[in-house]
C-alpha cells in the first residue's frame, strides 16, 4: 500500500486505481500493467522536467534575462541533465500528449515520445515500453487513461513530483500484481516482506545486490532506509539482474522515478547462465528468488565455481540460489563482510534429497547462517504456503554492524513468526509496521522481529536479548548438529509458555471436572425435554 493520505499526495491512489481499472475493460491485467505504468513514467519524467524548467525560468528572470534569450536558454539540454533531470524533447512533453489524447493515432504518438526520450537519454535506451500502437487500445479508452493520470496534482516542485508519482507507481505495481495473481508475483514482492528484509540487514552504505530484482522493490526500500537514517542515495550502489525483459523495463522505470542510479546489466538475462556481475562482492544482498524451480539449466552448470558447498540438484534451484548469494557476498575485511537476506521455500530448511542436506550442513559448519525466520502463510501472491527468511553473514564478529555488535560466532538465531500478520484480504496477509515512517514501531510485527535480531546481534539501542519460548532461540552449532542440521525454527524455539493464572493445578482440575459434570447433567435434561416434545407430537417411540 502507498503510505500517506490523499492530502499529502494530492491524489487518492485507490480512487485513481479504481478509475484506471474501469478503463481497462477486457484488456488483460498483464497487458494493461505496461500501458498504465509506462504512462505514469511519462508523466513523471515530464513533470520533473517542467519543475526544473520553472526553477530555471525564475533564476533567469532574477538575472534580468527574458524574452527570446530566456526561451533559448530554457531549451538547453545541459541545464537539465547537469541537475540529474532527464531531458524531454518537445513532442514527448505531457501537455503535448494529453492535448492529442483521444486522436486515432495516440498510440503511435506515445511510442514516438518514448523513442525520443530514449534517444536523448542514453541511460534509458531500450528500457521504455514502445508498443502502444501495437496493443490496439481504443483511442477513447487510452485518452481517458491519459486524462486520468494527467489529473494528478503535482505542483511545481521536482522532489514532490518524484514522491507522488513514485508512490503511485509503487501502489499500482502492487495492485497489478494482485490482479495477476501468481504471474504478478514474479515481478512484485509484498511491501511488508521487503521492509522486513531491509530493516533486518540495515543497508546504510555500500553495494546492494539483487540477482532476481523483479521491478526493483528491494532497491527502492534500501534507498528509503538510507535516507531515513540520515544518508542519501550516493551512500549505496545498486547492482541487479532480471531475466524477464518486460519486468526489467519496469525496474528501470521504477528506479528512474526515484532518481536511483542502478546497474541492472545491459540487457535482461539469467543470473545462473549469464551472471552479469561476475566479479561483484556485495555488502548487502536482498532477494526473493523464484524458488523450487526445476528448469534452471542446472545440467549445464555442474562444474560452476559458485558451488563451493556442493553441486545443487538439477531439479531444484533453491541451493543454487543460496550458493549464488554466498558467492557474491563480500568476504571479511576491515569493516566486516557482507550480509544477505532472502526469501526461500520452507523445504530448504530440512530437505535431504539430492544432496541438499549435505550442502546445508556444509554452509552451517562454515558458520554462515546468522538467522532464520519462519514466516506466516499467505504473505505472497505467488503462493499461499508459508516461506522462510534466511540471513547469511560472512562475518559474525560484529564489525559489519554500523555502531558495532557482539561476537556471535558459532551461533544462529531462530525466530518463529508464523502466528504474526493480519489478513488484508481473504488470501493475502500483511505484517504490521511496513508503512511506518522511520523505524517500524517496536510493538508492530516487523518491529518485534527486527528488534529481536538486532538485540541478539548486540546492537546499540536494541535492548537486551533473551530467548523467548515459542518465538526466538539462539542455538549453537552443536545444538543444530544434534537436530541433524535441520534449520526449522520450530525445532529450537519450542512452545510458548502458558500464562500462569495463579490457580493451583489440583483446584483447577476439580473445578473443571465439576463444570463438565454439570454440563453433562444439563445435556441429559435437555435430551429428556426433546424426547417428551417429540412424543407429544406423536413421534415418540
pLDDT for the residue numbered 4: 44
Question: Is residue 262 over pLDDT 90?
Answer: yes
Cβ atoms of 281 and 328 closer than 8 Å: yes
**CATH number listed for the domain at residues 6-180:** 1.20.1260.30
Beginning with the edge strand found earlier in the chain, give each strand of the sheet holding 206-210 in spatial order: 262-263, 236-240, 206-210, 284-287, 339-345, 387-393, 369-374, 411-416, 472-476
438 Cβ contact partners less than 8 Å away, ≥ 6 residues apart: 228
| DSSP3 helix / strand / coil % (the chain, rounded to 5) | 50, 10, 45
Closest CA to 188 of 124, 251, 265, 243: 251
- Between CA 178 and CA 283 the distance in angstroms is 32
Across 535-540, average pLDDT: 74
Q: What is the DSSP letter of 282?
A: B
Of 150, 136, 134, 32, give the one whose Cα is nearest residue 101: 150
Q: What is the mean pLDDT of the chain?
A: 88
* pLDDT(327) > 80: yes
Give the tens place of pLDDT for each residue, 70-125.
999 999 999 999 988 999 999 999 999 999 988 999 999 999 999 999 999 999 99
Please tell me the distance from the alpha carbon of residue 213 to that of residue 445, in angstroms, as a whole number.
25
Task: Enter the C-alpha cell of residue 62.
Answer: 532574477
pLDDT the model gives residue 316: 96
CA distance 143 to 301: 49
State the pLDDT confidence band at 524, using cuts at 50, 70 and 90: confident
- Where residue 269 falls among pLDDT bands split at 50, 70, 90? very high
Report CA Rg, the chain: 28
Average pLDDT rounded to a whole number, residues 155-173: 66
| Boundaries of every domain in the chain | 6-180, 184-493, 503-541
pLDDT digits (tens, 9 = 90+) for 411-453: 999 999 999 999 988 878 999 999 888 899 999 999 999 999 9
| Tens-digit pLDDT profile for residues 167-193 | 787 788 778 877 776 555 566 788 899
pLDDT at 10 over 60: no
Mind listing the pLDDT tens digit for each residue in 184-237? 556 678 889 999 999 999 999 999 999 999 889 899 999 989 988 888 888 999
pLDDT in tens, 26-60: 788 778 888 888 998 999 899 889 989 999 999 99
Smallest Cα–Cα separation from 125: which of 271, 32, 30, 256?
256
Query: In terms of C-beta density within 10 A (0-12 exposed, 13-18 middle, 19 or more buried), how is residue 40 classed?
Result: buried
In this model, does residue 9 exceed pLDDT 70?
Answer: no
Taking alpha carbons only, the member of 345, 479, 509 closest to residue 412 is 479
Phi, psi of 304, rounded to the nearest 5 degrees: -65, 145
Q: Which of 127, 122, 90 is nearest to 109 (CA)?
A: 90
- Residue 356: all three cell numbers together: 541438499
Architecture of domain 184-493: 3-Layer(aba) Sandwich (3.40)
Task: Read off the pTM.
Answer: 0.84
Look up residue 162 and give its three cell numbers: 518524484
Q: Which pLDDT score is estimated for 183?
A: 53
Confidence of residue 520 (pLDDT cuts 50, 70, 90): confident
Amino acid at each position: 500500500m502507498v503510505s500517506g493520505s490523499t492530502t499529502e499526495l494530492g491524489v487518492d491512489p485507490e480512487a485513481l486505481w479504481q478509475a484506471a481499472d474501469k478503463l481497462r475493460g477486457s484488456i488483460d491485467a498483464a497487458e494493461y500493467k505496461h500501458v498504465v505504468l509506462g504512462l505514469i513514467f511519462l508523466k513523471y519524467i515530464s513533470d520533473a522536467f517542467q519543475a526544473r524548467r520553472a526553477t530555471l525560468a525564475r533564476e533567469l528572470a532574477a538575472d534580468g534575462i527574458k524574452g527570446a534569450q530566456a526561451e533559448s536558454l530554457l531549451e538547453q539540454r545541459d541545464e537539465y541533465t547537469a541537475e540529474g533531470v532527464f531531458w524531454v524533447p518537445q513532442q514527448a512533453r505531457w501537455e503535448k500528449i494529453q492535448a492529442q489524447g483521444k486522436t486515432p493515432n495516440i498510440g503511435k504518438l506515445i511510442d514516438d515520445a518514448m523513442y525520443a526520450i530514449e534517444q536523448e537519454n542514453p541511460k534509458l535506451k531500450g528500457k521504455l515500453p514502445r508498443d502502444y500502437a501495437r496493443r490496439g487500445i481504443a483511442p477513447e479508452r487510452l485518452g481517458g487513461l491519459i486524462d486520468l493520470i494527467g489529473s494528478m496534482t503535482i505542483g511545481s516542485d521536482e522532489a514532490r513530483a518524484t514522491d507522488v508519482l513514485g508512490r503511485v507507481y509503487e501502489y499500482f505495481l502492487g495492485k497489478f500484481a494482485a490482479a495477476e495473481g501468481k504471474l504478478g508475483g514474479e515481478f512484485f514482492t509484498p511491501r511488508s516482506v521487503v521492509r522486513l528484509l531491509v530493516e533486518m540487514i540495515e543497508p546504510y552504505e555500500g553495494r546492494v545486490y539483487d540477482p532476481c530484482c523483479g521491478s526493483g522493490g528491494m532497491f527502492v526500500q534500501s534507498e528509503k532506509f538510507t535516507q531515513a537514517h540520515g544518508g542519501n542515495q550516493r551512500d549505496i550502489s545498486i547492482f541487479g539482474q532480471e531475466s524477464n525483459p518486460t519486468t526489467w523495463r519496469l525496474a528501470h522505470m521504477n528506479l528512474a522515478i526515484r532518481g536511483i542510479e542502478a546497474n541492472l546489466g545491459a540487457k535482461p538475462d539469467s543470473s545462473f547462465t549469464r551472471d552479469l556481475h561476475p566479479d561483484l562482492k556485495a555488502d548487502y544482498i536482498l532477494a526473493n528468488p523464484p524458488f523450487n524451480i526445476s528448469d534452471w539449466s542446472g545440467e549445464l552448470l555442474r562444474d560452476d565455481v559458485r558451488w563451493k558447498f556442493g553441486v545443487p540438484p538439477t531439479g531444484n534451484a533453491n541451493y543454487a540460489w543460496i550458493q549464488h548469494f554466498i558467492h557474491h557476498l563480500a568476504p571479511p575485511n576491515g569493516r566486516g563482510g557482507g550480509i544477505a537476506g532472502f526469501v526461500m521455500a520452507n523445504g530448504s530448511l530440512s530437505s535431504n534429497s539430492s544432496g541438499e542436506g549435505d550442502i546445508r550442513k556444509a554452509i552451517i559448519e562454515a558458520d554462515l547462517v546468522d538467522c532464520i525466520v519462519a514466516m506466516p502463510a499467505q504473505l505472497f501472491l505467488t503462493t499461499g504456503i508459508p516461506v522462510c527468511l534466511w540471513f547469511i553473514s560472512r562475518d559474525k564478529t560484529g564489525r559489519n554492524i554500523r555502531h558495532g555488535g557482539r561476537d556471535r560466532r558459532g551461533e544462529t538465531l531462530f525466530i518463529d513468526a508464523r502466528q504474526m500478520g493480519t489478513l488484508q484480504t481473504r488470501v493475502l496477509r500483511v505484517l504490521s509496521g511496513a508503512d511506518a515512517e522511520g523505524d517500524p514501531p517496536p510493538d508492530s510485527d516487523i518491529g518485534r522481529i527486527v528488534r529481536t535480531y538486532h538485540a541478539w546481534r548486540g546492537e546499540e539501542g536494541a535492548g537486551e536479548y533473551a530467548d523467548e519460548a515459542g518465538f526466538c532461540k539462539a542455538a549453537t552449532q552443536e545444538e543444530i548438529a544434534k537436530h541433524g542440521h535441520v534449520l526449522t525454527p520450530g525445532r529450537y524455539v519450542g512452545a510458548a509458555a502458558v500464562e500462569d493464572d495463579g490457580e493451583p493445578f489440583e483446584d483447577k482440575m476439580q473445578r473443571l471436572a465439576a463444570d463438565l459434570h454439570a454440563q453433562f447433567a444439563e445435556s441429559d435434561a435437555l435430551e429428556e425435554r426433546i424426547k417428551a416434545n417429540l412424543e407429544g407430537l406423536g413421534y415418540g417411540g
